[in-house]
Amino acid sequence: MTTDYKIQILMLEDSDSDAEMVSYALNRSGIEFEIQREEKRETFLNTLKHYKPDLIISDYNLQGYNGRQAYLDMRENGYAKPFILVTGSLPDDIAVDCLQLGIDDYIIKDRLSRLPDAVISVLTKWRTEEEKKQALEKLVDSQKSLAEAEKLANLGNWEWDIATGKIIWSQNLYNIFDLDPQNYSPDFDSFMSFIHPDDIASITESANKIISGICENVEMTFRIKTVKSNHKIIHAIYRKKETANEQNIHLFGTLQDVTKLHETENALRELTEQLEQKVNERTTELSNANAILAHRNQEITDGINYARRIQKAFFNKPLEAKDCFNGTFCLLMPKDIVSGDFFWHYDINNMHFIAAVDCTGHGVPGALMSMIAHQFLNQIIVEQAIYQPAEILKALDAKLVDALHQLAGDTLRDGMDIALCRIDEKSNTIHYAGALRPLFYFNGTKLQEIPGSKNSIGGFNIENTVKIFRQTDISYKSGDCIYLTSDGYYSQFNYYTGKKMMKTRLRNVLESIARKNVDEQQLILKRYFNEWKGEEEQVDDVLVVGVKF
């Protein structure tokens, strides 16, 4: 729990170690703060004059002074700040007395873990009180403004004695009609002369309804033209006044000049219509733009889907049945539509080359890199007849560095990781080399992890160094298995715990399924991954290749 600002703290403490303990407790909580520390009464009161802290933290027992007196001195000097006591011990009666005085809280020093919560709680309480105070002040100001607004409302009142024809106007009615009360005495006929001709009938009809008792009051709007030829709009409210003599009828009411209000309403109406028109135009523009974007997005997606068809046709062709194989599988699950992981194999003269390749990135960038890697593997093994896995990786690295114009010392890691095997059917031997990818070998009883070289293909390389790719030879027998993978399978996060699978779990799964047939192995691996992932987003392309002898 923290604040959204840096707390300014004035600390009254004469022990260096205790001051450090307070700072440490606040730091651990993540609260941002600055401390101005004082040790004596004189410097404490002097600092209060020029330093405006958000909070005061004071020890209770000080040399020749105490926290209770410090609080009283602060209040007597006209300051009101949140105040927390931090003390080694405090008797209950003194603690109660301090809280009754107005001190906000006290913390025992061996329980400083409570200090951050106390600081936040006290500052929140003070801020709430300050906001209430400001709201009350605003309310009082608004009430004063309302009273003044009523005086400035340009509102006038009148009363008309129909029997005598006498009319009384308030001062502001003269102002509304641009008249001088010294030179004008209001009467019905002269009043009606100011009314717009089209509104005279409605005013007369309304007055007759009130006089005859059909209605009790009237509220209406009409137009006038003053002696200064000012055209105004008037809002009127009037009713019959009860008198002792029922024959003596009086009408009274108010007239208010609402010309500016009507002008504003008309202007707002026009502006609203203009804005609605612009909104409609912009909505149409956005709708058209969205349609274009949707079309382009569909075109891109269609293109990527077509690329996936090409990639499927080009890569990952299933291994044909071999006399030395008891079965194979390739589990490939791209993160996106196309994949940066791919499976490559080639057969010649009873030799079977198998590779699991993990290109940098995924999606379209990874897929483009996979095309390059696939072509280079064909050139090196099929065309150039380089058959030693370590030499193949060395040649592959040289080709990729040259193709991507990578220089020694570059920090970019564009390239790939690879696990590559050459299986010699005649000698029952597996020749393996890897670039940052291991080979998992099951010898019939136990799963072994044979690490690859600590260099990738392409990408980062230390200047004046030569990449070395070592080769491992393994004799296999019937029932043994090998597994080549990218790192996507065991890099996946678990939906429920948020933790990565890690390589150990993958090894355990592989060892548990190695005695099963390859179709069951692939099914279990896929089910285990999907259950681990749950509804979590897949983080990378997944590739697992298995061969059972």
Is the domain of 350 the same as that of 369? Answer: yes
337-383: pLDDT as tens digits: 888 889 999 999 889 999 999 988 666 777 788 888 889 999 999 99
Is the domain of 74 the same as that of 98? Answer: yes
In a domain, 113, yes or no: yes
Cβ neighbours, 10 Å, residue 165: 10
Residue 418: strand, helix, or coil: strand
User: Going by C-beta distance under 8 Å and a sequence separation of 6 or more, which residues neighbour residue 258?
Assistant: 221, 233, 234, 235
- The CATH number linked to 531 is 3.60.40.10
Q: What is the pLDDT of residue 150?
A: 43
Greater confidence, 185 or 547? 547
Q: What is the pLDDT of residue 147?
A: 34
**What strand order describes the sheet that includes 7-12?**
33-38, 7-12, 55-59, 83-87, 105-108
Q: What is the pLDDT of residue 140?
A: 67
In a domain, 2, yes or no: no
Is the domain of 234 the same as that of 328? Answer: no
Q: Which residues constitute the domain of residue 476?
A: 315-548
In a domain, 440, yes or no: yes
In a domain, 305, yes or no: no
426-474: pLDDT as tens digits: 999 999 999 999 999 999 999 999 999 999 998 766 665 778 899 999 9
**Torsion region of 499: left, alpha or beta (phi above 0 gives left; psi -120 to 50 gives alpha):** beta
Is the domain of 132 the same as that of 177? Answer: no
- The separation between CA 471 and the C-alpha centre of its own chain, rounded to angstroms, equals 49
Q: Is 242 exposed, middle or buried (0-12, 13-18, 19+ CB in 10 A)?
A: exposed
Reply yes or no on whether the pLDDT at 304 is more than 60: no
Is the domain of 96 the same as that of 52? Answer: yes
Residue 113: strand, helix, or coil: helix
Greater confidence, 272 or 512? 512
Is the domain of 463 the same as that of 490? Answer: yes
Task: Answer yes or no: are the C-beta atoms of 362 and 543 closer than 8 Å.
Answer: no
Rounded CA gap, 35 and 22, in Å? 10
**Percentage of the chain surpassing pLDDT 70?**
88
Is the domain of 352 the same as that of 230? Answer: no
Q: Give the mean model confidence (pLDDT) for residues 83-95.
A: 88
Residue 534: strand, helix, or coil: coil
Task: Answer yes or no: are the C-beta atoms of 485 and 452 closer than 8 Å.
Answer: no
Task: Answer yes or no: are the C-beta atoms of 482 and 319 closer than 8 Å.
Answer: no
Residue 101: strand, helix, or coil: helix
31-63: pLDDT as tens digits: 889 999 999 999 999 998 888 899 999 999 988
Residue appearing with tokens 């569909």: 298
Q: CA triplet 383, 367, 461: central angle to 5 degrees? A: 75
In a domain, 277, yes or no: no
Q: Give the mean model confidence (pLDDT) for residues 72-95.
A: 89
267-299: pLDDT as tens digits: 888 887 888 888 888 877 877 777 777 666 665
Q: What is the pLDDT of residue 506?
A: 96
- The CATH number linked to 247 is 3.30.450.20
Is the domain of 406 the same as that of 504? Answer: yes
Greater confidence, 124 or 211? 124
Amino acid type, 181: P
Q: What is the pLDDT of residue 313?
A: 53
| Domain final residue pick, 114, 147, 180 | 147
Is the domain of 84 the same as that of 131? Answer: yes
| Domain final residue pick, 230, 257, 284 | 257
145-162: pLDDT as tens digits: 533 544 567 788 888 887
Assign 88 a pLDDT band (cuts: 50, 70, 90): confident
- The separation between CA 528 and the C-alpha centre of its own chain, rounded to angstroms, equals 33
In a domain, 289, yes or no: no
Is the domain of 516 the same as that of 404? Answer: yes
Of residues 490, 511, 377, 501, the one with CA closest to residue 433:
377
Number of structural domains (the chain) is 3
In a domain, 307, yes or no: no
- The CATH number linked to 136 is 3.40.50.2300
Reply yes or no on whether the pLDDT at 539 is more than 90: yes
Is the domain of 381 the same as that of 453? Answer: yes
| Domain final residue pick, 105, 124, 147 | 147
In a domain, 421, yes or no: yes
Is the domain of 179 the same as that of 249? Answer: yes
Rounded CA gap, 355 and 345, in Å? 6
233-278: pLDDT as tens digits: 988 888 877 665 666 778 888 999 888 888 888 888 888 788 888 8
pTM of the model: 0.50
